[in-house]
Amino acid sequence: MQCVRGQARRSRSEEQLYRAQSARVARINLDLLGMEEDADLQFLLSGGDLLKIRSNSWKKHRFYKLNEDCKTMWYKSHKTLRPSNPTFSVDDIAAVRLGRQTEGLRKNTDDKVEGQAFSIMFKSRRKNLDLIASSEEEAKQWVAGLEKIISHMSKLNPQQKTGHWIFNSMCKADKNCDNKMSLKELKSFLQDINIEIDDEYAQELFEKCDHSQGGYLEGEEIEHFYKILTEREEIDVIYTTYAKTNGFMSAENLLEFLQKEQREPASLSDALILIDKYELDGSAKEKKLMTKDGFLMYLHQMEGLIFNPAHKGVHQDMTQPLSHYFISSSHNTYLLEDQLKGPSSTEAYVRALMKSCRCVELDCWDGSDGEPVIYHGYTLTSKILFKDAVQAIKDYAFKTSEYPVILSLECHCSVDQQKVMAQHMIAILGSALVTKPLGDQMPKDFPSPEELKGRFLIKGKRLNKLEDCFTPDASAIEDDDVTEEEESGGEESQEERKEEKPKDKKLKLAKELSDIVIYCKSVHFHGFEDAAARSFYEMSSFKESTAMNLAQDSANKYIQHNVEKLSRVYPAGTRTDSSNYNPVPLWNGGCQMVALNFQTPGLEMDLNQGCFLSNGKSGYILKPAYLMDKDTEFDPVTLTRGGWLKPKTFHVMVISAQQLPKLSKKSTSIVDPLVKVQVFGVPDDVAAKETDYIENNGFSPMWNANFQFHVCVPELALVRFLVEDYDSMTDNDFIGQYTLPFTSLQNGYRHVPLLDKNGDILPCAGLFVHIMVLDD
């Protein structure tokens, strides 16, 4: 064990000792990562000067390096109020991009530094880190090194991640760098990994490992302590029950476990495949046996997780009309924060698209120099160029999903700038933009996601009927098309009215823009009868209050409307903080595009991410059959009898959690975790239950709490596991959550990964549960 220290002042001898120890720690970590001889990683560990770019006037040199834990980037800051060793974790990096690919670099640097520039993009709301290296070769080396470390970290198995984390936490606790652990250092280490124990138990644990009775732990004694710390009693009980072959699991023993506990239709060959895939001991693998470590490895991998691996890829029928799918949709996509004075950014489009969003909004206004801009009108939100947003959409639209992206236009531009908008979309999106109906004849229904792979659809106003595409001499007649703002009437907040809006007047529509609106023509909703008389491609947008009322009071009619027509729902204008509404009642009502503020984390975005977790994270989920039948009698509120009623009893045992994150950097701040299990769906299925809290243990809390739920309409249900830090005086604090479709649950003993508030994976953290879904 070696120490990991900050960049403090040292004497020459102390500096030499520190450097030697740091080098040894780095070698151990590189060995753990399997990157001992990697030149790019050695380059990162040495570090170097980079020019940090914040604005045209703020450009400063900073020294960056990878710490010896091979997981933390350290940089030297000159801010007096910042700590002397500011860092950020590699786990917090979403992507590293070579070149001037961010707004900041394009705006604040010259073309000549294109090859020297790179950006670090973060998962949270943290701003991008825009940097310039001294040469193109160095920039490439920074990017290659960071991408390698991110990739290798993501490929570590759970045991390796735990070992890496605990080793470096022990190094941090070794205050005097003597490669030994005193009782005081052991207690500091336990606090760092989220465990608080009393002095008596700490002394007992220490003495149990101090075989030499020297008053400190070193070498094999530390290894013994590590084994005690990482012991999983609940796994031991399960393994021992089925390890009936000389203390090991044979393929037959494993098959019995898979069939009896996991309720899987497995065969002996399936058991043999798992042993070959996950057993770490070569001798045991050769004998077709699974050790406890191999069993734990299996439980942490895809086959052992709660989410059905069969749903990880695209598994649904993608040849149905577009109106038969729920479509992941964003509102005010250009905003990074609130809709009053928050920044607009092309990066917001990138983040939404990378999270499988398939419908993005562009709120377009006249800009200077004849170039349209995007921002939240009549507010202090910043502006971005329309063409830059379209370029960002094109660049990132199909990196996560290959299925179509809908550009929802809120156009407030003059005719001249509308023409510019059309020119930009045609030039930038090229042949991927749908500019005429598919096929040679007027369609009677929407094309399917499969037919529209890699294509862009424009949602907006259109001057004439789509049928006129097949009648070249047809005249353009303006319809009663409106924007969402016109529909929302007086719903704006007082803050939005701070600047006096001009009196409403009809903006003329440029033919060039009208002509590229094909399958998503915006029209006002005048009731179900009027809508039924309209063509299939004429769609309406609904403010949330209107949509919620329809989903509650006219649910069956709304569902029938949404069988053949597209509906987009958007948040109320009064949500100036860019908060969200509950999307579930609107999905129950068959609404396809339930648009949420992707920039605002919380329960609603957790539900959205959980809903679209299945089907390969494609952003498209096929509706249940009763939401695709124009004569359906389904009503989620009244729940009359029908094929949608498939009642299930859902048993869940919350057994334990592993390596929950600390919520405070204070060493003495330890979480008191509890788990809530929540079901969302039709009103009759909505329910929640919670465990007691475990005091002062975020590393390995255990509950063994049993809950039971009754679910009537499983195809519309979502299950959310929420972990909170209990607080008797205030609201509990969020630790992590995981949401998935009820129909994607796997039975048996399962690990549940946990996501942070932004929907990104929490490294190492998770729950261990037992699931049983039975037919009523």
Angle between helices 251-260 and 233-242 (to 10 degrees): 110
Which pLDDT belongs to residue 20?
67
Q: Mean pLDDT check: name the lowest of 289-298, 463-472, 729-738.
A: 463-472
Kind plus residue range of the DSSP H or E element containing 320: none
CA distance 365 to 359: 20
Structure tokens, 667: 């060493």
Structure tokens, 289: 């046996």
745 vs 86: which has the higher pLDDT: 745
pLDDT digits (tens, 9 = 90+) for 253-281: 999 999 999 999 999 999 999 999 999 89
pLDDT digits (tens, 9 = 90+) for 616-673: 999 999 999 999 999 999 999 999 889 999 999 999 999 999 999 988 877 678 899 9
Check pLDDT > 60 for residue 485. no
CA distance 648 to 741: 14
CA distance 611 to 522: 26
Check pLDDT > 50 for residue 62. yes
Instruction: Detail the residues annotated as belonging to a binding site for substrate.
Output: 52-79, 459, 461, 541, 568
Task: Count, in order, helices (H) and strands (E) of the chain.
Answer: 23, 29
DSSP string, 632-680: ----TTT--SSTT---EEEEEEEEEEE-PPPSSSSTT----EEEEEEEE
Q: 167 falls in which pLDDT band (50, 70, 90)?
A: confident
CA distance 692 to 54: 47
Q: How far is CA 572 from CA 278, 294, 547, 584, 593, in A?
A: 50, 52, 11, 16, 15
Which pLDDT belongs to residue 10?
58
pLDDT digits (tens, 9 = 90+) for 576-599: 899 999 999 999 999 999 999 999
| Neighbouring C-alpha atoms within 13 Å toward the C-beta of 141 | 20
Contact yes or no for 45/68 (Cβ under 8 A): yes
Which pLDDT belongs to residue 507?
64
Q: Rounded mean pLDDT of 365-387?
A: 94
User: Can you tell me which residue has the tokens 């860092």?
Assistant: 87
Which pLDDT belongs to residue 78?
60
Phi, psi of 120 (to 5 degrees): -105, 120
pLDDT digits (tens, 9 = 90+) for 641-653: 899 999 999 999 9
Residue type for position 189: F
Q: 498 falls in which pLDDT band (50, 70, 90)?
A: very low
CA distance 289 to 281: 9
Contact yes or no for 85/76 (Cβ under 8 A): no
Is 331 noted as a catalytic residue in this protein?
Answer: yes
Kind plus residue range of the DSSP H or E element containing 272: helix 268-278
Cα four-point dihedral sign 656, 659, 664, 667: positive
Contact yes or no for 735/671 (Cβ under 8 A): yes
Contact yes or no for 169/225 (Cβ under 8 A): no
| Neighbouring C-alpha atoms within 13 Å toward the C-beta of 191 | 16
Exposed / middle / buried, residue 742 (Cβ in 10 Å: 0-12, 13-18, 19+): buried
Check pLDDT > 90 for residue 158. no
Which pLDDT belongs to residue 551?
97
From the list 402, 343, 412, the residue with the least C-alpha distance to 377 is: 412
DSSP structural state of residue 417? H
123 vs 566: which has the higher pLDDT: 566
Exposed / middle / buried, residue 487 (Cβ in 10 Å: 0-12, 13-18, 19+): middle
pLDDT digits (tens, 9 = 90+) for 386-437: 999 999 999 999 999 999 999 999 999 999 999 999 999 999 999 999 999 9
Strand partners, 4: none
**Averaged pLDDT score across all residues of the chain:** 90
pLDDT digits (tens, 9 = 90+) for 224-237: 887 888 889 999 99
Q: Rounded mean pLDDT of 63-86?
A: 76
Which pLDDT belongs to residue 476?
56
**Cβ-based neighbours of 772, under 8 Å, separated by 6 or more:** 263, 650, 651, 652, 747, 748
pLDDT digits (tens, 9 = 90+) for 89-103: 898 999 999 999 998
Q: 497 falls in which pLDDT band (50, 70, 90)?
A: very low
User: What percentage of residues in the chain have a pLDDT greater than 90?
Assistant: 70
CA distance 289 to 253: 9
DSSP structural state of residue 504? P
Exposed / middle / buried, residue 5 (Cβ in 10 Å: 0-12, 13-18, 19+): buried
Q: 171 falls in which pLDDT band (50, 70, 90)?
A: confident
Q: 499 falls in which pLDDT band (50, 70, 90)?
A: very low
What are the CB-based long-range contacts (under 8 Å, 24+) for 395-398?
395/350, 396/349, 396/350, 396/353, 396/354, 397/353, 397/456, 398/454
Considering only CA atoms, give the Rg of the chain.
Answer: 29
CA distance 266 to 258: 7
Q: Rounded mean pLDDT of 41-54?
A: 92
From the list 262, 242, 258, 260, the residue with the least C-alpha distance to 250 is: 242
Contact yes or no for 686/679 (Cβ under 8 A): yes
Is 315 noted as a catalytic residue in this protein?
Answer: no
Check pLDDT > 70 for residue 6. no
Q: How far is CA 425 from CA 45, 352, 730, in A?
A: 44, 19, 50
CA distance 206 to 503: 76
Q: Rounded mean pLDDT of 590-615?
A: 97
- Residue among 152, 300, 324, 331 flagged as catalytic: 331
**Cβ-based neighbours of 309, under 8 Å, separated by 6 or more:** 302, 303
Check pLDDT > 80 for residue 4. no
For Cα atoms 548, 404, 439, give the angle at the middle one, nearest 5 degrees: 110
Structure tokens, 21: 């120890």
pLDDT digits (tens, 9 = 90+) for 434-484: 999 999 899 999 999 999 999 999 999 999 999 988 886 666 555 444 455
Which pLDDT belongs to residue 354?
95
Strand partners, 708: 651
Which pLDDT belongs to residue 459?
98
Domains defined along the chain, listed by start: 12-158 (2.30.29.30), 233-304 (1.10.238.10), 322-627 (3.20.20.190), 648-775 (2.60.40.150)
- Residue among 152, 376, 424, 751 flagged as catalytic: 376
Contact yes or no for 295/304 (Cβ under 8 A): no
Instruction: Detail the residues annotated as belonging to a binding site for Ca(2+).
Output: 332, 361, 363, 410, 670, 672, 696, 725-727
From the list 141, 127, 4, 167, the residue with the least C-alpha distance to 72 is: 4
CA distance 131 to 711: 52
From the list 160, 152, 172, the residue with the least C-alpha distance to 21 is: 172
pLDDT digits (tens, 9 = 90+) for 8-33: 555 666 666 566 667 777 788 887 77
Q: Would you state the torsion angle of the CA atoms of residues 758, 83, 698, 219, taken in this order, to the nearest 10 degrees? A: 130
Q: For residue 390, count other CB atoms closer than 10 A to its CB.
A: 24
What is the three-class DSSP state of 538? strand
Check pLDDT > 80 for residue 749. yes
